[in-house]
Structure 1
Amino acid sequence: MTHTSGEVVETMTVEESPETVAQVLQHALVGEDLPDSFTLLGQEWSLHRGVFPSTLSAATEVLASMVPYPKGGSLLEVGCGTGVISVTAALEGCASVTALDINEKAVANTAANIERHGVGDRVRVLHSDMYEALEPTDRFDAIFWNVPWTYVEDGFPLSTDLHSAVFDPGYQGQSRYIAGAHAHLTDGGRLLIGTADLGDRARLDSIAEKAGMRVDMLDRVRRIEEVRVMEYHLLELHAK
């Protein structure tokens, strides 16, 4: 159960096998049928091989439409992938956007889409493991991550660059995301997570609890996908 606007809302967690996800990753790496561009949110976007395609699920489209972009302010996106959300943030009125990704191919892909949409004066992209590439003084009005929600145990091998886009062993990445965010938020800044009903919400709540925070549901959207109905969640973390 979770709370939103004073109401109790039931959420569900659905399990997805790592083997199923790995098949999708293999296609993204070597699938000869993948194009070098795609259409999303009424815009054309470049797609580089070795970057998780933003159209394999509705996650990017849905979450890009849900994020409360701080218009006139600054946004940090962790795990930017193709750069759709970071570029959209600039197009929606953010004055400054920083995009981070651990996958160098994703950094190049985001850079291509920054150029494609003419937002280089407002968006920068950095190769970074979580917050490592940031300066200690960097502060943002909102920090967002469309997290790799598929839970696997510690020690699960991330055998390709794309594995870190969908697998978070032991939710260590999300633990680091929550723990390190405070140092890069402005006063009153918002810490946001995009996830889905495939995520382990109880585990995420436990991580937040240990960090002295609570997780609130801001919004959720159901989409009919190829094999099931997916429910995407936009969460916000608050200090207790």
Structure 2
Amino acid sequence: MTFKESPEAVAQVLRHALVGDDLPDSFTLLGREWTLHRGVFPGTLSAATEVMASTVPYPRGGSFLEIGCGTGVISVTAALAGCVSVTALDINEKAVANTAANAERHGVSDRVRVLHSDMYTALGPTERFDTIFWNVPWTYVEDGFSLSTDLHSAVFDPGYQGQARYIAGAHEHLADGGRLLLGTADLGDRERLDAFAEEAGMRVELLRRVRRIEEVRVMEYHMLELHAK
């Protein structure tokens, strides 16, 4: 079953993240302290960051690419988990700075490269990765929905066009035998996602389902893997 989430309710949370004067400049997650820059989506507003950081099958000894790195929890965790090369991309320049700060904070700046990028655009044409991952913005809104701030792109994906680009462009940057992963939730439109995968000649496999009791409801997070047919 697909649950619906009110864009208005989500936008209210975003406004707080942008201007709320009660937000701290750091937070604790996964037993570590993380720097939080204003204008970056906090990694503790839901359990999504914790769940995904804990369930991604990191390619230990290999290379890892994260789209939409935000505060950098997942990319930094990938380096701490044994990835020898991590590339973190985000369309929000504040998130790029935040991820770089957390890589420095946790001593992995030598293994974590952070780039300002709209999807794969900052990558070189020959760059390949053992694993590519995106914890996608699952709140569905129609094409034409206004992304009035950089932070809106953290939770809204109009028409799921970002996810379509993620799937279609991944083959150019996956190493031979590489894995393409996507983190989402039961609030996401799975039928639409499956249709984009089908168009790209891929199928979607559910790797892991994790439930968390949150303030409003029980959220069900999904770790998905896309395979060539």
Q: TM-score w.r.t. structure 1 length?
A: 0.95
Match for 1:172: what amino acid?
Q
| Matched residue, 2:47 | 58
Deviation at 1:176, TM superposition (A): 0.4
d(CA) in 1 for partners of 2:216, 2:21: 22
| Matched residue, 2:207 | 218
* Structure 1 stretches of at least 4 aligned residues deviating more than 6 Å after TM superposition: none
SS in 1 for 2:120: coil
d(CA) in 1 for partners of 2:127, 2:189: 30
Equivalent in 65, 71, 78 of residue 60 of structure 2: 71
SS in 2 for 1:105: helix
Q: List per-residue Cα deviations over 1:43-81 (Å, max 9, x = no partner).
A: 000000000000000000011000000000000000000
Equivalent in 20, 29, 38 of residue 9 of structure 2: 20
Deviation at 1:203, TM superposition (A): 0.3
| Aligned pairs for 1:69-108 within 5 A | 69-108=58-97
d(CA) in 1 for partners of 2:22, 2:218: 25
SS in 2 for 1:100: strand
d(CA) in 1 for partners of 2:209, 2:40: 26
Q: Cα RMSD (Å) of the superposition? A: 0.4
Residues 1:149 and 2:138 aligned together:
yes
Q: List per-residue Cα deviations over 1:126-162 (Å, max 9, x = no partner).
A: 0000000000111000000000000100000001111
SS in 1 for 2:193: helix
d(CA) in 2 for partners of 1:52, 1:151: 17
| Matched residue, 2:155 | 166
Match for 1:199: what amino acid?
G
Residues 1:234 and 2:228 aligned together:
no
Residues 1:115 and 2:104 aligned together:
yes
Q: Identity of paired residues, percent?
A: 85
Residues 1:179 and 2:168 aligned together:
yes
SS in 2 for 1:170: helix
d(CA) in 2 for partners of 1:159, 1:123: 29
Deviation at 1:13, TM superposition (A): 1.1
Count how many residue pairs are aligned between Structure 1 and Structure 2. Answer: 229
d(CA) in 2 for partners of 1:191, 1:233: 14
d(CA) in 2 for partners of 1:31, 1:231: 28
SS in 1 for 2:100: helix
d(CA) in 1 for partners of 2:200, 2:172: 13
Unaligned runs of 5+ in 2: none
| Matched residue, 2:33 | 44
Residues 1:130 and 2:111 aligned together:
no
Equivalent in 31, 35, 41 of residue 20 of structure 2: 31
Deviation at 1:117, TM superposition (A): 0.4
Match for 2:79: what amino acid?
A
SS in 2 for 1:16: coil
Equivalent in 190, 205, 223 of residue 201 of structure 1: 190
